[in-house]
């Protein structure tokens, strides 16, 4: 697996005129601008991907919350049916049927109660993941801003350099 | 060839600024032209950012409206849920008391006879004990013990009533009727309680779904806020960058003009 290069992207390839221009300051500024721009774009892509992941996790959290509501309702239906069934009596055939139905409802209700607990855990897990993605996304946004600042600094450097050169030329002209 | 070329021309919206007619100034001075293009680009970027912010604002308003609706739904669910919860509690309490009455009546009837007064006292103690246990009117711990004591007294009295021989036939009939009525009442109350439990659960589930909707709207609002902040950041950054470019261009034009101005007298002198 090839090692990642520390050097910036082939700037000269992108600015071929710099190779023959001979302006060292311009070349340096262009390298810095290209590197900063690459970093900014990379951070932006990363941030967008993280934002999508965060959105996905948040949607899954909401789904888990809704499933929890459904499971809680199903559990309560089982409990209610169990109560009604057990009211049928405690002796005789119908009493036995009622007791059996109440017991079955209790077992099924317990299953839904367990599912509700799992839903809670899932929602919490997705919430935590979404928060995590959000934090990294925010970091990426800051890195993007830093990259933009770097590009601006490089541009400022070149502008000052060009201004100094122009002033020098002007002074030379005055002397001439 | 011309037809073929025109057929393949793309109709997608260009990212470049709208083409401006070339003025004599633009033709004569490339740097001025570049300055005009930069200004136009800056203006377009601002307009584009404005549009994105407005779109997000519309979505945000919709999310806020959704959240308000969900909150309203949750409040209504909590209100009606309270009624069904109270109904369930009341019905289950009636069912328990009826069950106790049935138990006392059965004990006494199977024992053979009873004094109506003694039975009434036994029932009063049993039911009173249940009420004290349920309502906790003497405090948490005291109510538990007082309720238990009253139920025990009720049970003892009902056994005593069973051993009493006086008025055997009349008492037994009365007790059997009371027991039957209590059975019907208890069953009905349990059915009502079970149905109220299901109805209350449906409302509670709706309340939970509303909570999920609120959470979803909140997340969407936060997401849109972030996006708007990023658009504004990006627009500011782009604007700053364009301003820098324009400033650089202005400086270059000034230098160019200055050089040209200085070159004229030199040329004149040499000439």
Could you give the angle at which helices B168-270 and A24-86 cross, rounded to 10 degrees? Answer: 170
Contact across the interface for A152 and B241, Cβ inside 8 Å: yes
Classify residue A76: in a domain, yes or no.
Answer: yes
Q: Alpha-carbon distance B125 to B117, whole Å?
A: 12
Q: Which residues of B touch A90 (CB under 8 A)?
A: none
**Residue B260 in tokens:** 């040209």
Classify residue A122: in a domain, yes or no.
Answer: yes
Q: Alpha-carbon distance A118 to B199, whole Å?
A: 24
Answer yes or no: are the C-beta atoms of B189 and B95 closer than 8 Å: yes
Q: Distances from the Cα of B104 to the Cαs of A88, A116, A118, B89, B171, in angstroms?
A: 19, 40, 44, 23, 13
Classify residue A151: in a domain, yes or no.
Answer: yes
**Residue B169 in tokens:** 């036939």
Classify residue A15: in a domain, yes or no.
Answer: no
Answer yes or no: are the C-beta atoms of A61 and A123 closer than 8 Å: yes
**Residue B249 in tokens:** 């261009």
pLDDT at A43: 93
Residue A67's Cβ-count burial label (10 Å; 0-12, 13-18, 19+) is middle
B237/A contact by beta carbon, under 8 A: yes
Ordered DSSP codes for B190-252: HHHHHHHHHHHHHHHHHHHHHHHHHHHHHHHHHHHHHHHHHHHHHHHHHHHHHHHHHHHHHHH
User: Going residue by residue through chain B (271 aa), what tens digit of pLDDT does each one get?
Assistant: 334 434 344 445 555 555 555 554 554 567 677 777 777 877 888 888 888 888 988 999 999 999 999 999 888 888 887 888 888 888 888 888 887 777 777 766 665 555 566 667 777 777 777 777 777 777 777 777 777 777 777 766 665 555 554 455 666 677 778 777 888 888 888 888 888 888 888 898 999 999 999 999 999 999 999 989 888 888 888 888 788 777 877 877 777 777 777 766 655 555 4
pLDDT at B127: 73
CA distance B122 to chain A (A): 23
Contact across the interface for B244 and A51, Cβ inside 8 Å: no
Choose, out of A73, A109, A174, the residue to mutate when testing the contact with B (most B CBs < 10 Å).
A73
The CA dihedral of B26, B32, B36, B38, to the nearest 10 degrees, is 140
Q: What letter does residue B15 receive in the DSSP assignment?
A: S
Helices H / strands E in chain B, number of each: 6, 0
Contact across the interface for A80 and B215, Cβ inside 8 Å: no
Q: Residue A91 pLDDT more than 50?
A: yes
Closest CA to B84 of B201, B186, B191: B201
A166/B contact by beta carbon, under 8 A: yes
Q: Alpha-carbon distance A29 to A42, whole Å?
A: 20
Please tell me whether the interface predicted TM-score (ipTM) of this complex is above 0.85. no
Contact across the interface for A75 and B241, Cβ inside 8 Å: no
Q: Distances from the Cα of A14 to the Cαs of A27, A33, A83, B11, in angstroms?
A: 11, 11, 78, 29
Which B positions 73-92 lie with beta carbon below 8 A of chain A?
92
Q: Distances from the Cα of B247 to the Cαs of A32, A150, A168, B35, B251, in angstroms?
A: 20, 18, 19, 10, 6
pLDDT per residue as tens digits for the range A27-54: 888 888 888 889 989 999 999 999 999 9
Choose, out of A47, A84, A115, A120, the residue to mutate when testing the contact with B (most B CBs < 10 Å).
A84
Q: Alpha-carbon distance A67 to A64, whole Å?
A: 5
Determine the structural domain holding residue A149 and report its residue range: 23-155
Classify residue A172: in a domain, yes or no.
Answer: no
Q: Alpha-carbon distance B37 to B18, whole Å?
A: 9
- What mean pLDDT do residues A57-69 have? 94
**DSSP-based three-state secondary structure for B13:** coil
* pTM over the 0.80 mark: no
Q: How many domains does chain A have?
A: 1
Answer yes or no: are the C-beta atoms of B200 and B77 closer than 8 Å: no
Contact across the interface for B237 and A145, Cβ inside 8 Å: yes
Q: Which residues of B touch A58 (CB under 8 A)?
A: 216, 219, 223
Classify residue A33: in a domain, yes or no.
Answer: yes
A88/B contact by beta carbon, under 8 A: yes
**Which pLDDT band holds residue A99 (cuts at 50, 70, 90)?**
confident
Classify residue A39: in a domain, yes or no.
Answer: yes
pLDDT at A6: 47
A75/B contact by beta carbon, under 8 A: yes
Classify residue A95: in a domain, yes or no.
Answer: yes
Measured distance between the N- and C-terminal CA atoms of chain A, rounded to whole angstroms: 60
* Of the partner residues A77, A80, A148, the one whose CB lies closest to the CB of residue B237: A148
pLDDT at A47: 92
Q: Alpha-carbon distance B135 to B144, whole Å?
A: 10
Closest CA to B164 of B122, B125, B218: B122
Q: Alpha-carbon distance A134 to A59, whole Å?
A: 14
* Residue A81, number of CB atoms within 10 A of its CB: 21
Q: Alpha-carbon distance B62 to B38, whole Å?
A: 36
Q: Alpha-carbon distance B215 to A58, whole Å?
A: 9
Q: Alpha-carbon distance A148 to A44, whole Å?
A: 11
pLDDT per residue as tens digits for the range A125-153: 999 999 999 999 999 999 988 998 888 88
The full 3-state SS of A84-153, as one line of letters, equals: HHHCCCCCHHHHHHHHHHHHHHHHHHHHHHHHHHHHHHHHHHHHHHHHHHHHHHHHHHHHHHHHHHHHHH
Q: Alpha-carbon distance B35 to B244, whole Å?
A: 12
Closest CA to B246 of B42, B27, B17, B18: B42
Answer yes or no: are the C-beta atoms of A79 and A111 closer than 8 Å: no
What are the sequence ranges of the domains in chain B? 52-221
**Residue A58 in tokens:** 């948040």
**Which pLDDT band holds residue A8 (cuts at 50, 70, 90)?**
very low
Q: Alpha-carbon distance B107 to B31, whole Å?
A: 110
């Amino acid at each position: 697996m090839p090692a990642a290069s520390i050097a910036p992207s082939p700037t000269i390839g992108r600015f071929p005129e710099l190779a023959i221009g001979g302006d060292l300051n311009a070349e340096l500024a262009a390298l810095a601008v290209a590197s900063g721009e690459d970093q900014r774009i990379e951070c932006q892509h990363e941030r967008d991907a993280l934002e999508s992941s965060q959105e996905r996790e948040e949607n899954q959290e909401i789904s888990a919350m809704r499933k929890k509501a459904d499971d809680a309702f199903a559990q309560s239906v089982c409990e209610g049916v169990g109560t009604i069934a057990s009211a049928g009596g405690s002796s005789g055939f119908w009493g036995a049927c009622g007791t059996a139905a109440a017991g079955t409802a209790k077992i099924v209700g317990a299953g839904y109660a367990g599912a509700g607990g799992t839903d809670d855990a899932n929602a919490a897990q997705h919430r935590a993941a979404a928060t995590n993605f959000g934090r990294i996304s925010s970091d990426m946004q800051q890195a993007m801003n830093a990259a933009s600042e770097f590009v601006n600094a490089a541009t400022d450097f070149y502008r000052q350099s060009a201004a100094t050169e122009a002033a020098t030329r002007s002074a030379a002209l005055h002397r001439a | 060839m011309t037809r073929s070329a025109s057929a393949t021309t793309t109709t997608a919206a260009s990212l470049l600024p709208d083409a401006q007619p070339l003025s004599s100034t633009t033709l004569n001075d490339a740097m001025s032209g570049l300055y005009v293009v930069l200004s136009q680009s800056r203006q377009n970027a601002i307009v584009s950012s404005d549009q994105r912010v407005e779109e997000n604002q519309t979505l945000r308003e919709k999310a806020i409206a959704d959240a308000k609706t969900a909150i309203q739904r949750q409040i209504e669910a909590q209100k009606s849920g309270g009624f069904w919860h109270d109904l369930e509690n009341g019905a289950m309490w009636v069912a328990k008391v009826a069950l106790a009455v049935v138990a006392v009546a059965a004990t006494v009837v199977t024992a053979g006879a009873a004094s109506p007064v003694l039975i009434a006292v036994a029932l009063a103690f049993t039911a009173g004990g249940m009420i004290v246990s349920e309502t906790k009117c003497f405090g948490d711990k005291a109510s538990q013990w007082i309720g238990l004591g009253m139920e025990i007294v009720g049970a003892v009295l009902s056994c005593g009533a069973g051993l009493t021989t006086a008025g055997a036939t009349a008492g037994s009939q009365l007790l059997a009727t009371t027991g039957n009525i209590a059975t019907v009442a208890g069953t009905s109350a349990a059915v009502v309680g079970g149905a109220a439990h299901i109805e209350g659960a449906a409302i509670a589930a709706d309340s939970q779904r509303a909570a999920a909707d609120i959470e979803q709207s909140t997340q969407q609002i936060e997401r849109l806020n972030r996006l708007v902040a990023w658009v504004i950041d990006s627009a500011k950054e782009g604007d700053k960058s364009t301003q820098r470019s324009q400033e650089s261009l202005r400086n270059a034009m000034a230098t160019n003009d200055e050089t040209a101005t200085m070159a004229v007298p030199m040329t004149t002198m040499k000439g």
